[in-house]
Structure 1
Amino acid sequence: MMTFKETAISWQMLVGAALSYYATIAFYRLFLSPLSRFPGPKLAAMSRWYEAYYDVLQNGKYTFKIAKLHKEYGPIIRISPYELHVMDPSFFESLYRMDGRWDKYSWAYDAFGAKDSTLFGSGHDAHKSHRRAIAPFFSKQNVFARQDLLRNNVDKLCQRITSLNGGAIFNLGAALSAFTRDNANEFIVGKSYNELDLDDFGVGLSNASRGAGVFWRTTKHIRWFGPLLKAIPISIAMKSADEGTQSFLRYLLQSEQDTRDTLAAAMSPSPDTRIQNTIVYEIVHSTLPPQEKTLDRILQEVASSTGAGFETTAAALRLIIFHVYTSAPILQRLRQELATVSFDESGSHPLKALEQLPYLTAVLMEGMRLSPAIATRAARVTNKDLQYNDWVIPAGTPVGMTTYLMHIDENIYPEPMRFKPDRWLGPKKASEATYAPFSRGTRICLGMHLAWAEMYMILAALVPRFDFIIKDAAAGDFEADTDNFGVGTKAGCNMNAQVTTVSA
């Protein structure tokens, strides 16, 4: 029979074995790993908990820490035991390209819990087949064909703002979020949630939806966190949730039910036009095999594609509108240019005509430079060695760059934090080779044409009609402050403004 003393020794041996195990792992990662020769902080090389400190405890600051690490260690660094990061624009087109096999880094993207979706799926082959099925739906041609849907929401927003004329202060930031959510939901799933009609523009839902960034950052490092939260029945979560979170949970329930109903209608013998203009119909009637058309996968596709169209575009619009309305020269120049465009039979500016306006285009490009679709790095994995200068990056190594950091590189964009639309005009305009607000290569954002259309149309509608005085805010409030996968800002979804209509 084992004595207490013998049991105590066994525990000591267990602790010793654990320490030896982790010491061996640290030794391997520091000295024997194929990545051991790459520069970077030793703590990052030994453990992902280095990154977790900035992701979780410092609320999404690893992107900005990486920028500081590059200044210390050079253009290529090791940012975790497994991953490299490059900060050199000359390497961008070598990494984000159309040819070759490129997987996403599953460790980062699986944390969203939608690994079978086009956006968050990591595998090259699965992504290629999924993307092929829905790419026509998000094509520029289809966006142009359905611009009346966007115009209706533009008009609805303008009507709401007109009703506030006379100096009323309202949350323009929340209104822009409601605008992009209504567009995304109606365009993608054919469902009108009419958040532009809500008194507060659904600001609680806007704020709650931004919590997805915290969910993602935490689940990356604590793999059971996301599945645990998703396993909690919504009926139970509702009891302890605040009002904003309850709005978000109700939206999830409604979205799931609407997707179920749309799927049933899409599979019926004669679905109506509304159903045919949905991503669900596109998937059901694609050449994908039956196992790729299940309710679960379609739910993932719907959730990821609509979610990607909410705050990404709204954040860029808040930043753009702040700079337009706090700079009289920019505002006046935009109004003069828009006055040269004729209205169509609907009384609006045609989208194709707006795209030809150089200064409006420059304003939007500058906004997307400072507020691109995502704030995090986009690591890729390929089955071949990559060459970067004198460095050979081993096949299978996740290596990424960060668009936002490239967009604020002072060597490419002088005075990078200054909003300067003119940098995109004239013979000395900035090169678009390093401009990638929607990424590049095989994983370029499917929804970019929808996002551009929204931004062109809303600026063209607001600028000639309204004067806004932005209250209690500075430019830095709308610039990237947190890596929420998307751009997290100090202002969040809020931008209070006082409005008056422009005299004819």
Structure 2
Amino acid sequence: MELNMGWRFLVGSVIVYYGTLVFYRLFLHPLARFPGPRLGAISRWYEAYYDVILSGQYTSKIAGMHKVYGPVIRISPYELHVIDPAFFETIYRTDGRWHKYSWTYDAFGVNSSTIFSSDHDAHKARRRTIAPFFSKPNVLARQETLRRNLDKLCQRISQLAGTTCNLGAAISAFTRDNANEYIIGKAYNELDAEDFGIDLSIASQGSGVLWRTTKHVRWFGPAMRAMPIDWAMKAADEGTKSFLRYLQQCEQDTRDAIAAVESSPGDKVQKTLVHGILHSDLPPADKTLGRIFEEIATVTGAGFETTANTLRLILYHVYANDVILRRLREEIALIRTASSEPFPLNKLEQLPYLTAVLNEGLRLSPAIATRAARITDKDLFYGRWRIPAGTPVGMTTLLMHTDERLYPEPMRFNPDRWMGSAALGAASSKFAPFSRGTRICLGMHLAWAEMYMLVAALVQRFTFTFEGATAGDFELEKDNFGIGTKAGCNLMARASPYEG
């Protein structure tokens, strides 16, 4: 009898607790007055259904919710989302203190890295240390690295001419080799691999599953990372094994770079990101192997599939449209040098149509697919709405970039929307493929350089035909933090030399 009464009391207590919690979140919470789905206001498990069960569909669901509830909505018990482009510069700005939403970013398990530092002050100090490394002058000074890898890519394509090759995987190898050599100072030579290291590309894109799951099941990611590497290697598929081997190699290379800096005086050591961190005024806790490895792994990883995704989309549309391809070739031919020397990056940057093509690719494939919530210590205002201080509120760049009020026929690849100063100014005011404000992408100048150089080289040297590809293959299919597409890292192509 006493045991039965104990169970009744326990069940009753649980019912009362959750009933009270539901009532509070629906009617008394500071965000209770904001519109949105009731289930989303009650529990994050509403988002988990779209993230985990439906494999990354919450970004698409948010777009649908805005059509029902309006421009500002409550998407979880704690978080708001805005879709009005006029609000973008309110939350993505350089003045003020803006924290990232730790619930989203801590799920990666690398919260001491610059990219995933949620705290404004910690991010500011870490970013100040490494930002000069990614400045435009530094990228220009090191474009020979990009040029060497581009030559290697073109040589591989030439060798595969007349056969079907995975141009998409080759592009991923190109961006990985650039990022690794630029950041850690070591050539990983993915472009030399027979299959361009495609397993690592697949694993990099698949990491979104781990992130989405860990957001809602907080022990999942730490449990996976705590698994002994030998166990993981036995249970993993080939893609995951490639990713684990890459992380092991990256950790060892980080260790070696630290040792080289500590054992050699100043300028005699090749200046890598590790050199910059160790010679900075960061506290000792930010100069440990673990912290520096997190920095290297996240910064290099951020430069892999983000840029490669955009390049795959651009190349598909360029070669699927004879008018775009012809105009590009004619414009680039104007700066062709008499010798075999490559195009100077500063000359390519001055080509309006090439720039328009790249802008259009970045519009349809910006760096990330998920919303980027920010938190400030001041109230924010949107129309009649007061957003309480401390509330995570964000926007999704991809949804803004495909807003038909800003970009008519938003899913059409149309470089002409960027031609002319008036058109460029109107469109670019709400154009943020690398985000904006205090958290603007560190590697954007490197990404721009890669895109200018690769697209210019390929359209002048090769003609591609793509097998079975459609425009929809390169559009958002799932939110992997980055943009998950149906094509993934694939773009099957037959190449032939262009003799124009």
Partner of 1:214: 209
2:402 aligned to which of 373, 397, 408: 408
Q: Within 5 A, what are the aligned runs for 1:24-423?
A: 24-165=20-161, 167-270=162-265, 275-343=269-337, 347-423=341-417
Q: 1:85 & 1:480 partners in 2: Cα distance? A: 19
Q: Which amino acid aligns with 1:230?
A: R
Q: For the residues of structure 1 that align with 2:234 and 2:451, how far apart are their CA atoms?
A: 38
Given the two structures, how large is their TM-score scaled by the length of structure 1? 0.97
Q: Is the 8 A contact 2:353 2:415 kept in 1?
A: yes
1:388-446 CA deviation, whole Å, 9 max, x = no partner? 11100000000000000000000000000000000000243442110000000000000
Deviation at 1:269, TM superposition (A): 2.6
Q: Residue 40 of structure 2 aligns to a residue in which SS?
A: helix
Contact 1:156/1:196 (<8 A) preserved: yes
Mapped to 2, the partners of 1:234 and 1:473 lie a distance apart of 37
Q: Is the 8 A contact 2:177 2:187 kept in 1?
A: yes
Post-superposition CA distance 1:147-204 (Å, at most 9, x none)? 0000000000000001112x21000000000000001111011111100000000111
Counterpart CA distance in 2 for 1:479 and 1:343 is 36
The answer to whether the aligner puts 1:494 opposite 2:498 as a matched pair is no
Secondary structure of 2:400's counterpart equals helix
Corresponding residue for residue 462 of structure 1: 458
Q: Distance in 2 between matches of 1:372 and 1:455?
A: 13
- Residue type of the alignment partner of 2:281: T
| Residue correspondences, number | 498
Matched to 2:412, the amino acid is: R
CA distance in 1, matches of 2:134, 2:261: 18
Q: Cα RMSD over matched residues? A: 1.2
Distance 2:339 2:212 in 1: 48
CA contact (8 A) 2:407 2:427 kept: no
| Secondary structure of the corresponding residue to residue 428 of structure 1 | helix
Q: Deviations over 1:296-349 (max 9, x none)?
A: 110110111001000000000000000000000000000001101143977100
Deviation at 1:350, TM superposition (A): 0.3
> How far 1:271 sits from its partner (Å)?
6.3
Preserved contact between residue 372 and residue 403 of structure 1 (Cα < 8 Å): yes
Q: Which is further off, 405-414 or 248-257? A: 248-257
Unaligned runs of 5+ in 2: none
Moved more, 426-435 or 84-93: 426-435
Q: Distance in 1 between matches of 2:288 and 2:30?
A: 41
**Separation (CA, whole Å) in 2 of partners of 1:416 and 1:402:** 15
- Residues 276, 282 of structure 1: 8 Å contact kept: no
Say which is worse superposed, 239-248 or 414-423, in terms of deviation. Answer: 239-248
**C-alpha contact 1:343 1:350 (8 A) present in aligned 2:** no
Deviates most, 423-432 or 297-306? 423-432
The 8 Å contact of residues 259 and 299 in structure 1, kept in 2 or not, is answered as yes
Query: What SS class does the counterpart of residue 110 from structure 1 fall into?
Result: helix
Q: Which amino acid letter does the alignment assign opposite residue 113 of structure 1?
A: G
Q: C-alpha distance in 1, partners of 2:24/2:62?
A: 23
Displacement of 1:272 in angstroms is: 7.0
**1:8 offset after TM fit, Å?**
2.0
Which residue type is aligned with residue 321 of structure 2? Answer: S
SS in 2 for 1:141: helix
Is residue 318–residue 324 contact of structure 2 (8 Å, CA) maintained in 1?
Answer: yes
Distance 1:9 1:157 in 2: 73
Percent of residue pairs bearing the same amino acid type: 66
- Structure 1: where are the runs of 5+ without partners? none
* Comparing 310-319 and 242-251, the one that deviates more: 242-251
Q: Distance in 1 between matches of 2:271 and 2:150?
A: 20
In structure 1, distance between residues paired with 2:97 and 2:266: 37
Equivalent of residue 481 in structure 1, options 458, 477, 483 = 477
How far, CA to CA, are the matches of 2:78 and 2:376 in structure 1? Answer: 14
Q: SS of 1:416's equivalent?
A: coil
The one-letter amino acid of 1:459's match is: V
Deviation at 1:266, TM superposition (A): 1.4
The whole-number CA distance in structure 2 between the counterparts of 1:309 and 1:346 is 29
- Does the residue aligned with 2:465 lie in a helix, a strand or coil? strand
- Normalising by structure 2, we get a TM-score of 0.98
Take 1:270 and 1:338, find their aligned partners in 2: how far apart are those partners? 45
3-state SS in 2 of match to 1:500: strand
Post-superposition offset of 1:366: 0.2
Q: Tell me, what secondary structure is at the counterpart of 1:453?
A: helix
What's the secondary structure of 2:277's corresponding residue? helix
Contact 1:375 1:484 in 2 (8 A): yes
Q: CA deviation at 1:459?
A: 0.6
